[in-house]
Amino acid sequence: MGNLSKLMDAGVIAAGASLSQEDQDLINTLTPAEVDALISIKSKLTPGFVQRNLSGGGGTRGAAAVGIVF
């Protein structure tokens, strides 16, 4: 299973997210430790944190988090 699939299965990247080939290639260059760290971080953040800080809940912060559901 590739990094992209692992991150989607873990909910770090939204299923069906529109990622460029360049983004997909970059994600697939992450080491197993980096993938595990992303999954671990996501599991420790509360949904309230995500809504306030990364998913467009205020200002322009959500613009940089397109497809990323930390």
Which of 48, 32, 39, 37 is closest to 13 using CA atoms?
Answer: 39
Predicted structure pTM score: 0.66
pLDDT digits (tens, 9 = 90+) for 9-64: 988 888 888 899 999 999 999 999 999 999 998 888 766 776 676 555 444 444 44
- 8 Å CB contact between 49 and 17: no
Which of 70, 3, 65 is closest to 30 using CA atoms?
Answer: 3
d(CA 17, CA 8): 9
Q: What is the pLDDT of residue 59?
A: 46
Q: Can you state the percent helix, strand and coil of the chain, rounding each to 5?
A: 55, 5, 40
